[in-house]
Amino acid sequence: MTKICCIGAGYVGGPTMAMIAKKCPDVQVTVVDINEKRIAAWQSDELPIYEPGLDEVVKETLGRNLFFSSDVDQGIRDADIIFVSVNTPTKTFGEGAGYASDLQYWELCARRIKEVSTSDKIIVEKSTLPVRTAEAMERVLHAGDNPVHFEVLSNPEFLAEGTAMADLEHPDRVLIGGHNTATGQQALQTLVEIYATWIPRERVLTANLWSAELSKLTANAFLAQRVSSINAISALCEATEADVGEVARAIGTDSRIGPKFLHASIGFGGSCFKKDILNLVYLCESYGLQEPADYWRQVVIMNEYQEARFVKTMLHNMFNTIAGKRIAIFGFAFKADTGDTRESPAINVCRALAAEHAQIVVSDPQAMENAKLDLPELADQIEFEADPYRAAEGAHAVAILTDWTLYKGLDYQRIYDSMSQPAFLFDGRNMLDHQALFEIGFEVYSIGKGLKTHLK
């Protein structure tokens, strides 16, 4: 029986391993993590992350061929294949601070693997890493006179949060990079066979190690760039009475452009986009490629502009003062169907509103716990209220920051009636029926469409 161990029971490691366990009953999958609380949560009825469909898969496989453990060494020792899915945050210190990836956890894992392994193993990079990381890893793994052989593969994960289980079950593609050596190709085939259990073989792409590593950063940079591109156009739409939704539809029907990732918004969030682009910028710079670095950096600058522009729009429309005004934030997660708030635009928006002395009420169906942890410094100015109707009571404005479907179905007449007048609604996700809201009496602003006002 093939034994897989995954180091890192996070948003990527947990769901990915659950899917492998479901699809490959003959493979034993053990997920290990240094965080004992997290491991305990995976073994309980309250999983540590919210992801539609995940509970069912974990229920089906837990104890059958899926195991969670905080005994990292044992997990490593027993495994034939080790996925490393520990976090690789942006470095906050020293050279490359604010841009480069902090690889300390990855290297610690490599050292641990070398230390405790007594048999040959395939090491799979699941975490997003700078191109050529595998080279450094191989040096660490093979340092000294270790008789054990390690073959390093790169198998970046492309799942998106909120749709992780569907993405894992029916991915557009799986990418596996390995060395062009006999042992490299053999290891690569071993991993191909696992994925081919449920994924059509033509969707399992193979590449050299460096291409696989770089493809992950490139994919995220391209996706983020599309969001920044349409957001740049949204500002121009507001200045010209063009409608960004209509522009997106018009360009998205061009098969060369395609319709996805053209939804103008308050900006992209999430643990990956900003981190990966900054990492790409750092990589370009470290190879002396200043213009490519500047090009990609602009995607992040545009995103920051969009967040700041949203708050300015709120302030200017609300008569240039929001001090003491109650503002209800609908949605704190960085996107719908997740409780994840990492790099959520809501964090910066709340900070900026608080700097204007607004009284903020945050509501979100899944992200309240994370939201509380994100803004400890604003405890005096922030309330948390799970019920959106109660959050909006007495508010001067509602701001939609996450595209939760439930916000489409709310009784906005009831919300309007309970608010201070004039009642403002700022749709940072461009997702509601703005004409209907306007007819109820709201002052309605939407990204890329501008303000509909009764106050002229």
Q: Which residues are catalytic?
A: 272
Pick one of 175, 192, 272, 360: the residue that binds ligand UDX (CB under 6 A): 272
Decide if residue 228 touches ligand UDX (CB under 6 A): no
Number of residues interacting with ligand UDX: please give it, by CB under 6 A: 40
Asked whether the beta carbons of 320 and 358 are under 8 A apart, the reply is no
Decide if residue 305 touches ligand UDX (CB under 6 A): no
Phi, psi (deg, nearest 5) at residue 326: -85, 130
Q: Which stretch binds ligand UDX (CB under 6 A): 17-25, 261-269, 382-390, 392-400?
A: 261-269
| Residue of 314, 258, 123, 200 lying closest to 192 (CA atoms) | 200
Q: Least distance from C-beta 383 to ligand UDX, angstroms?
A: 24
Q: Which stretch binds ligand UDX (CB under 6 A): 135-143, 219-227, 322-330, 388-396?
A: 219-227
CA count, 13 A, side-chain hemisphere, 375: 30
For CA atoms 7, 343, 50, 130, the dihedral sign is: negative
Decide if residue 227 touches ligand UDX (CB under 6 A): yes
359: left (phi over 0), alpha (psi -120 to 50) or beta: beta
Pick one of 265, 317, 341, 430: the residue that binds ligand UDX (CB under 6 A): 265
Distance (Å, rounded) from C-alpha 198 to C-alpha 439? 51
Asked whether the beta carbons of 124 and 191 are under 8 A apart, the reply is yes
Whose tokens are 């213009």? That residue is 291
Decide if residue 102 touches ligand UDX (CB under 6 A): no
Decide if residue 109 touches ligand UDX (CB under 6 A): yes
Decide if residue 108 touches ligand UDX (CB under 6 A): yes
Decide if residue 245 touches ligand UDX (CB under 6 A): no
Q: Least distance from C-beta 223 to ligand UDX, angstroms?
A: 5
Beta-carbon contacts of residue 300 (< 8 Å; ≥ 6 apart): 224, 228, 274, 277, 278, 281
Q: Least distance from C-beta 281 to ligand UDX, angstroms?
A: 15
Q: Least distance from C-beta 382 to ligand UDX, angstroms?
A: 21
Pick one of 262, 281, 318, 415: the residue that binds ligand UDX (CB under 6 A): 262
Whose tokens are 């002395």? That residue is 357
Please identify the residue of the shown chain whose CB is closest to the bound ligand UDX: 10
Pick one of 90, 225, 234, 271: the residue that binds ligand UDX (CB under 6 A): 271
Complete edge-to-edge strand list for the sheet that includes strand 66-69: 66-69, 28-32, 3-7, 81-84, 121-125, 150-154, 174-178, 204-208
Asked whether the beta carbons of 328 and 395 are under 8 A apart, the reply is yes
Pick one of 335, 396, 434, 449: the residue that binds ligand UDX (CB under 6 A): 335
Distance (Å, rounded) from C-alpha 122 to C-alpha 127? 15
Nearest CB to ligand UDX, comparing residues 72 and 375: 72
Nearest CB to ligand UDX, comparing residues 273 and 407: 273
DSSP 70-109: S-HHHHHHH-SEEEE----PBP-SSTTTTTSB--HHHHHH
Decide if residue 375 touches ligand UDX (CB under 6 A): no
Nearest CB to ligand UDX, comparing residues 127 and 370: 127
Decide if residue 251 touches ligand UDX (CB under 6 A): no
Pick one of 12, 188, 191, 349: the residue that binds ligand UDX (CB under 6 A): 12
Element housing 329 (H / E): strand 326-330
381, burial (CB in 10 Å: exposed 0-12, middle 13-18, buried 19+): middle
Pick one of 5, 10, 221, 339: the residue that binds ligand UDX (CB under 6 A): 10
Decide if residue 220 touches ligand UDX (CB under 6 A): yes
Distance (Å, rounded) from C-alpha 139 to C-alpha 201? 32
Measured at the CA of 57, the angle between CA 51 and CA 63, to 5 degrees, comes to 125
Pick one of 158, 210, 384, 438: the residue that binds ligand UDX (CB under 6 A): 158
Pick one of 55, 78, 105, 198: the residue that binds ligand UDX (CB under 6 A): 105
* Binding interface with ligand UDX (CB under 6 A): 7-13, 33-35, 38, 85-88, 105, 108-109, 127-128, 157-161, 220, 223, 227, 261-263, 265, 268-273, 334-335
